[in-house]
Structures are given as C-alpha cells and as structure tokens.
Chains A and B, each alone.
Chain A
C-alpha cells in the first residue's frame, strides 16, 4: 500500500509506486491498443528532423500551440484599468468564465467581469434583450461608475450593434441616461488580445473625448503641458506600473496614465474583497485630451488608439516595450524632450548601477543563444536587451506579429553585430518553435508557462517572462521595465544560466570539477 497517514504521497510520487506502475502498464498493454513502441520512437525522432520542420513550416491552416489569445481578453484587461469600471462582455457567457479564469491563474487575484449570457434565442433574434437586462442587473448589483462593453465572436457574427443597443437600453431605463457605457467591438476572429486592448481603449477615449456617442458635446482640446502614458497589455503590470509611476514622479511632471489595472490585480488580503481598486478615473481620461503628447509604451497594442490621439492634435511617441539600458534611455530622453525637464540624477545613477551589474555578469551571457516568443512589442524590447548584453536572440517569434513587426525586429538585428544569425518569425506558433529548437538549438528559451512543454521536449531551459505565467508565482509583482526592471530581467537570465550550469556539472566524480563555488 503506497499511501500512509504519516507520509502522504502527492500525485507526483504516488503514481510512481510499484502498485500504480503495474496498473498503468497493464492498462497500456491490455486496453489502449497503442502503436508499437518502435513506431512511436521512430516518429519521435522524425519530429526532430529538417524534413519534419519543412512540412511543419508548410502548414497553411492548422495552428498548434499558439502564443496569442483573442480580442475580448484585451478588452477585459482595459476595463480593469479604469476606476470602478465593470467589464461587460456581450455574447456567450462561457467566454467570460474563460477570461476571468485566465487572468486569475496568472495574477492569482480575482477578476470581475460580467456577460450578457446570450444563448440560442439571442442567436436568432439578436442580443438586445440581453443587453437591456444585463446592464440593469450589473448596474444595480455591482454599482460601478462605468460599464465598459466589449463583444464575443458570437455577438459579432450575428452583427449586434452595440451603439444602438446601449442607447435602447438607456431608453428602457437599464442605466441612467448620463451613465457612462463606452463600448468596443472586439471580434475574436480579428487580431489577438492586443488588438482587443487597442479597440477597447479606443472605445473609452472616443466615448469621453468625442461626445459620448452623440449624447454630449465633444470635448474641446485646450493644450497643456501634461504628458499621457499608455503602457499596453502587460502581464507584469503590477510591478511595471509601480516602477513607471516612480520614474514619472521623479521627473516631477504633470502626467496622466491611461489604463492602470495594477491595483485591481494587487489588493491586500485583510478581510475585505475589493471588486474595484485604483484605475484611471473619468476625470483623468477627459483631462488627457489636453495633454501635449502621449507616450505609447507598446506600439503594436495601440495602433488605432495612437492614430486617434494623433488626430486629436497630440504628439504621439511610440515605443516598443523598451527593456534594458538603451531602451530605457530612449524612454527617459523622450520624457525629457517633451517636458523640458532634465533626467533626474537619481535615475542616471540607477542607469549606472544597471550597467555595473551587466558589466559584472556579461561574460556569462555573452554569445549565449536564445529563442523567444511573445507579444510583438515585448519581443522587440527583449531583443534589444539581449543584443546589448552580447547575447543572440536566434529565434524571435510572435503568433500575433505581422510583417511590419518582423521588419522592425529585423532593423534592430541588422544594427547589431550580434544580430547576424538571428531570425524573426511572424504569425508562427509554438509547434513551429519546437522544430526550430530541434534543428537549430539554442541555450535558453524565453516564453510563457506553455514554453515548459518545449523545455520538456527539447531540453531547452525556459525563462518565464511572457504572459501568461501560471506555474510560477508572483513574477508579475516585479518590474521588467526601467533600469530597475532591467536588473530584474538580468537576474532572471543569469539565474537560469547558473542553474543550468550547476545542473550540468552536478554528477559527483564525473562532472563536478566544474561545479564551481564562485562564478
């Protein structure tokens, strides 16, 4: 009997006990009718070959293990970034259960969001009644200051008109006429979660700046010296936002952050559940129209939003999730240029400290080969940082990256002596990456939790730095942006390097001559 009350075996040990090993062996032999082991081994080996890679890359229709989610996820993220705002997704209810679970598994925090729970009758007659009842219910129950509406693909396929539905709902008294219900159509079959971020944010800005869907006068821009900051979809938002605010406060400038979910996903355990916490207020959104410029930290999260803001007369500065020294330098110099304020001495010192740390450790990372995947902007930021460490980002992949993105990454690679052997892969998935890791191996992989399957299959150590991270806790509480964030990224890269060299040298009497005590 494997189990005992004194030493309770968990799944990872229990099923290795002989009783269970026999059970599994018998099940396989008698009932599963699997292919012969030799055949399985043959295919295992074949999947590692150039031939397989070629066929794998010739795929036209099938997607296997993609690194992207759908638009409404980004919309839910955006709604969470506004003060006392309830995210309301119009369409099937299962989607909302998925978004909430997805975020909660990553942040280890509650994620509130409601659905209009459309079913078959709504598929036939449209979801107007669901909108009317849904707005009334959520307004009464959850007492938000604003309800931000987005859509699932069901509502998009049947063509529900959010603008008209919300107006009708207000006419029917679901919510007061003047109650703010910004909206965005976020079809899951267009783009990815970053497109949804863009559309939802645009929906909110348009609502407040452009006359609340023709129910109020458009705001008139009265330019001032403030600067807006939009940071984009960010799995590290809790740590990053804190760091960004610290930096901006040091500049002593007038600034507005548009969309800040960092407090919603970072509430204390003190006996009280806070459904709403922090977030950008409506007043801030309205004030933001008058700013001199908007700095968009992740260009590919905000393509339409950027254009909208520029059309309203602001200068728009586009960055690509700057990570590391040069990226952060550029970010700070832009702030300085826009505001005329000098870069604070304290930040200059932090810069030096990051360079100091890189100098201390660069020998361990120089020439190391990395594969990585994730959202387009994040890939650009990481590429720059790896290159400035003298490391080589050999495979750079984004399932939701387009040609324009690939060209931009290529420019970065071309500008560095370490970028020569590196290649960009737009619109590819993790099954493509698997082939790459077999045919052109690298030292390390940077990705999200799902990268662990690639680590298992190909033996490439995984560094978790991309959303979502389900199987490690609290990474999102620390920044990867700014000089401080660069330090954190550096440590993550180094930790994985040191862990792997220790693991590779740990056999007593065989390899442990290199099991060094000082590195």
Chain B
C-alpha cells in the first residue's frame, strides 16, 4: 500500500496547491514561498524563512520579548528579570516554560516569579524611566540576594523613547557595580521570537562579557571545561545532558541558560569548548566567544540514542584519547538501557507517521529520536527558523517530506487532515485542535509537562510518552459506534 517517493511528492505538491487556493491571490503568492516538498540533494528545504508573518492568517509565532525574556534570559535563576511595560507579557509567560532550577524562589532565585513595571497610562505619557529607577531600588531592598537585574522591554518602551540603558548604568553604579542589563527586546522588533534571541545574546555580550559590572571570581580552568549552550532545562533536559558530559570526564562549567547563574555566564569564556544544542537561539553568542576568546563550538543533538552516540563522539573528538575512550564507555554503558527501551516501544510504534511544527531546533533534532523508534517524520517546519536551519534540516529529513515554514492555523489543519499522521508534535495552541480531530498529539515545546527528553534518561521518557499518546485507547472512542 505504501506510496513511492514520487507519488508522495506529487501528493504533497497537490496538497500545497490546494491549500493555497483559500488565500487571496497576493497572500497565496507569498505563502507559496514558505511551503515545499523536500528534494533530496538540495542544499536547503526550498522554502523562504525568517520573513514577516502575514496579517490575519493566524501565525503560531511569538515576539522578540518572548525570545529574550521567555527563552534566553528568563531561566537565569539568580537574576531578576523585569517585564518592563504593561502587565500582560509577563503574566502570560509566567512560569510557563518549565525551566527547572534549584533554589529558594523569592530569596536567592527568581525564575518562576513575575516582576513587572505594570505600566499605566501616565508611564506611557510621561515615560517610565523614573519608575524603573524606583523599581530597581525596591528590588534591591526586598530581594537583597539577587545577583543581577535584567530589563526586558515590552513594545511601548521603544516607542515612547525611554532610555533604559542610562537608567541601568546609573543604578548599577549606585549599587556598587551590580549587574543590570537593559534588553531592547520590544515585541514589535523583527518577525518572531528569533530576533529576541539575537538581541538577548548581544545583551549578554555587551553587558555581561563586556560590561563594567563583571565579577572576577577565583576560577581554575581545566583542560576539560565545557559549557552547555542553548539548553533551557525544560523538564530537566540540561541535567540529563550534563550527566553524560560529566560521565565522559568533562567538566561542565556553565549551563546557558536553564538552571544557569550569572557567575556561570561570566566564567564561560574560560571554557575549552562550547557545546551548542539550540543553534537558533544561541549561535550568536557561540560565534562571538569563538571570535573573541577563541573557544570553538560544536553543535550536538541529545535526542534519541543514535544522535546521542554521534554527538558524544563528536564532542569527544575535541579532546584527548581519555575522553574519547570515556565517550565509548558511556555509549556502551547505556546501550542495554536503550535497547530495552527500543525493544519495548518500537514494535508498537513502527511505521507510525509524525508531523512536527516547533521552534528552534526540534523540527530537525527530534527526527532521529522518532526514527530510533521506527517512526517516520512526514512533515516538519519551523516557527522562527532561518535558512541555516533549513540547510541543517536536509541532513535529517527524507526525500518528499512536506515542509512548511511559519505555518498558519489554516494550513496546518488542512495538512494534517489530508496527510493523516499518527502523531502531531507542536504547541499548546495546536494541541486541542488536533485532538478534537482525533489525532494523537504531544506538545514539543513543554514536553507536554513531562520530560526530560534529552540524553539517555530522557529518551526512555520520550519513547514512553510517544507510545502513550499514540496507543491511548481514547482515540478509538472519538467516533460514536452508531456513526458510520
């Protein structure tokens, strides 16, 4: 029954053409550039990306503030991140991303709190700089153990001409060189979360690495120091990754930024190698550290045993034979566990089709994990990827895979309706749409409140979760038996 690749390609191409018919002509022309059927051998997936979303189409994307506060800065646990502007942005993103951390919240750590300047009309009219100064005083008084403050700009800040840089400098000086970082991540900047990542990276460069507030600490480097870059410790991902690097004999001196501290960020330039998981959100700072401090960086993928194995070897290749041997030992140690997980779940999942639509790295990174379970990813796309993401994706996807960049609500619904995957992996806004349609679903941003999914320990959970989504008896009940 299975289609040939050519048949699949023709079917997908027809599907794209059909979906585009619903749009006004001008919009259809623009959207056509974001949809494609992957051709093996091409350097990328043949779609345009990182372009403005079209108004009114129901994009799934967020904004620069979400990329900065929500992704990069928010998880840094011993700093206070002010959502600067009206109350909403901080409220909707409050503790929603599951960036796990250890600490006494409200005393020495602050990740799951909502600090906001709660802008009122008078702040818009007269400017919010004075209020920001008072806020910083109040933070210093009530939260004396905070190791720094960041100002996460919401839309109005850039529009009303506030000078948060001046306020930050002034207050930093006043508080003895306290780390205070202004971030210009207003939501209207750029086309998605992506620019927010970039702005946040640049703010770390300018105000943490280059700033006048950097704390020099006694730190003795070793030849085995690495930093985990671009792991937000969702459901504990960074921990189940860190454990493998440590088992290899490496010393993880920093986590960026899940369960991370400002001290770890400041010490990162002393690393021998930066290992980068989410390329999209933290390639900027990795490149900077390479140029400025000569630290090489390597991308890795800790989803599923095949990719973990490859990645452990790749990371080890930057070190001496002892580390390389250790990597082999780690791989060997976990082999029986991985085999047991695969033996348990693969028979139930073999041949199941998956469609993905996620953020930074997952539209490609998780494909290997699904394949380890015998599943096939038949469609994928990025919420805010750039062309370099789509280039990297070619190493993962099969010929004829349906590709959709910045997919709209309408397109995604129609694609799933026609392709009929056995599982969709996307976000909370999509989850219930597809479940109503009777299609099993897993949130692939928050791990649907499960996880970790990274590392060997995480893969066991991943496999169990995918099985329970697909094999749930619920899906057999969605049609009443008297309906034909």
Contact = CB atoms under 8 A, between A and B. Distances in A.
Interface of A: 1-6, 8-11, 14-15, 19-20, 23-24, 27-28, 31-35, 39-40, 43-44, 47, 52, 55-56, 59-66, 68-70, 72-73, 88, 91-95, 97-102, 104-105, 108-120, 122-123, 130-131, 133-142, 152-154, 157-158, 187-190, 192, 267-274, 431, 434, 450, 453, 457
A118 B190 CA distance: 10
Interface of B: 22-24, 26-27, 52-66, 78, 85-89, 91-96, 100, 102-108, 112-121, 123-124, 131-132, 134-135, 138-139, 141-142, 144-145, 154-156, 158-160, 187-191, 193, 217, 235-236, 239-240, 242-243, 246, 252-255, 259, 261, 263-264, 267, 333-334, 337, 340-341, 343-344, 408-410, 413, 427-429, 431-438, 450-452, 456-457, 460-461, 464, 474, 478-480
Given A34-B261, A43-B144, A140-B22, A114 B56 contact: yes
B118 A59 contact: no
A62 B144 contact: no
Given A8-B460, A131-B55, A137-B27, A94 B413 contact: no
A187 B188 contact: no
A130 B57 CA distance: 11
Contacts of A10: 450, 461
Given A11-B451, A60-B134, A62-B139, A153 B154 contact: yes
Nearest to A19: B243
Closest 5 A/B residue pairs (Cβ): A94-B63, A70-B88, A134-B55, A134-B56, A98-B92
B145 A40 contact: yes
B23 A140 contact: yes
B47 to A, nearest CB: 18
Given A1-B334, A27-B259, A34-B108, 4 more contacts: A11-B236, A31-B252, A31-B264, A269-B474
A73 B87 CA distance: 11
B436 A110 contact: yes
B243 to A, nearest CB: 6
Contact of A97 (B63, B236, B438): B63
7 contacts: A14-B452, A31-B261, A43-B144, A93-B63, A108-B432, A133-B54, A453-B112
Given A15-B236, A140-B22, A188-B87, A113 B344 contact: no
B145 A39 contact: yes
A477 B409 CA distance: 26
Nearest to A270: B478
Contact of B88 (A1, A39, A69): A69
A273 B91 contact: no
Given A61-B131, A273-B433, A1 B428 contact: no
Contacts of B480: 270
Nearest to A73: B88
A14 B145 contact: no
Contacts of B340: 4-6
Contacts of A450: 94-95
Contacts of A140: 22-24, 27
Given A3-B460, A94-B63, A187 B55 contact: no
A98 B479 contact: no
A270 B154 CA distance: 40
Given A4-B337, A101-B92, A137-B27, A66 B116 contact: yes
Nearest to A63: B118
A4 B408 CA distance: 40
Contact of B87 (A28, A192, A457): A192
A92 B153 CA distance: 14
Contact of B56 (A136, A267, A270): A136
A348 B92 CA distance: 42
Given A44-B104, A142-B410, A93 B236 contact: no
Contacts of B450: 10-11
Contacts of B437: 271-273
B243 A115 contact: no
A52 B138 CA distance: 12
B159 A102 contact: no
B239 A24 contact: yes
Contacts of B474: 269
Contacts of A119: 52, 188-191
Contacts of A154: 155-156, 159, 187-188
Contact of B117 (A19, A61, A431, A434): A61
Contacts of B261: 31-34
